[in-house]
Structure 1
């Protein structure tokens, strides 16, 4: 992991290099759980304990092609992972107090890497399937699952399923926040496959019926933050 103390600052419009700007208007506070494994699965690390972590997702309500994930590194620092689908990604460390007050974060080229999606062809093998709506607390949630459309492939490769629970009342105009690459590519081919709204919960169930991980949104707030990356980095 690359580590740096990132200088956050507000720049005037004069004297700037050509920059690409990414705007974030919401920050989602989530609880992300990696569950202890019950079955050893080929080509997947065996987790001996359950780990819970708080994550913050910086999102743009009208553009879900990019996302920033903020996690706590220690008492003073955040780890910020930024990615733009099928283009670039970056991984940096920054001071919490600097992030809290900054409107704009400049990421130097040395932290920017190519983020090519080599699995776009998988959209022909996967599809979203609408399930019965469910209720958590007093909230009605639309429930969908992303799964392979090929039953023989599911059995042969022991493929799991990715579940999405969406609150279409809260943040009703927001595009779905899709971290999974295949889910994002599938959504792009048919944007009506997932409703807009707050993606309240995401979880992955493996072939054996065990939940591998779950992410639940526990709070959200409006923000006005930017990430700037010089176009020469691309």
Structure 2
């Protein structure tokens, strides 16, 4: 996808009907590690890497992911599970100063989930709690219930340790199936994860994401209505 370098606009919204405004009240820092055995040849990324998620604590419907592009720039990936995604580059200094970030339509694309039917043979299970630093933490696992599919399609599962200090915050759901499970009303974790592991079909851990810290912010991402794909179904 071709993306553009974002310009920052600090302004009052005068024509709300012509824009979609995404409000973010937290930035969540996670440390992401791709386990060495699963790093593909030619991948020169040094792990662990820092992921910054912009979130709205009241909803799991949308989030933005910031990843370092180089020393001066972030890549900003935004996802609205109702049907929209964007990919842009922005100077780190501009991001820090910005209250409003306007995404040009050329950086916006429709978002779909072709695997919605996966929830029919997927389930969350709450497993035994774990104690970390004398504090009890809930543990959950998301896995496929059809073992034949797991074996034939080499399907992974996801294990979570929840963050008891962030119970007020809606779950962060980067994996589309996680969101579809929550949306469909299935029993699911109700708060942020402290740790999230991807466990391959052969029981080996391939990815680990660990919570570092959360900070409150007040930032907004603006999408013009002409490219609001959530309204074009």
**Among residues 87, 100, 104, which one is paired with 2:100 in the alignment?**
104
Tell me which residue corresponds to 1:56: 52
- CA distance in 2: counterparts of 1:53 and 1:215, whole angstroms: 10
Establish whether residue 25 from structure 1 lines up as the match of residue 25 from structure 2: yes
TM score, norm. by length of structure 2? 0.90
- Checking the alignment, whether the CA contact within 8 Å between 1:36 and 1:48 is kept in structure 2 is no
- Structural RMSD (CA): 2.1
Displacement, 1:153? Answer: 1.9
- CA distance in 1: counterparts of 2:15 and 2:137, whole angstroms: 49
In structure 2, the gaps of 5 or more residues are none
**Among residues 171, 187, 190, which one is paired with 2:185 in the alignment?**
190
- Checking the alignment, whether the CA contact within 8 Å between 1:86 and 1:117 is kept in structure 2 is no
Tell me which residue corresponds to 2:2: 2
- CA distance in 2: counterparts of 1:46 and 1:145, whole angstroms: 30
Structure 1 residues 24 and 193: CA distance shift in structure 2, 3 A: same
Tell me which residue corresponds to 1:69: 65
Structure 1 residues 47 and 185: CA distance shift in structure 2, 3 A: farther
Which portions of structure 1, spanning 4 or more consecutive aligned residues, are displaced by more than 6 angstroms? 46-50
In structure 1, the gaps of 5 or more residues are 39-43
**Among residues 195, 203, 206, which one is paired with 1:212 in the alignment?**
206
Displacement, 1:191? Answer: 5.5
Establish whether residue 175 from structure 1 lines up as the match of residue 170 from structure 2: yes
Tell me which residue corresponds to 2:85: 89
Displacement, 1:56? Answer: 0.3
- CA distance in 2: counterparts of 1:219 and 1:47, whole angstroms: 31
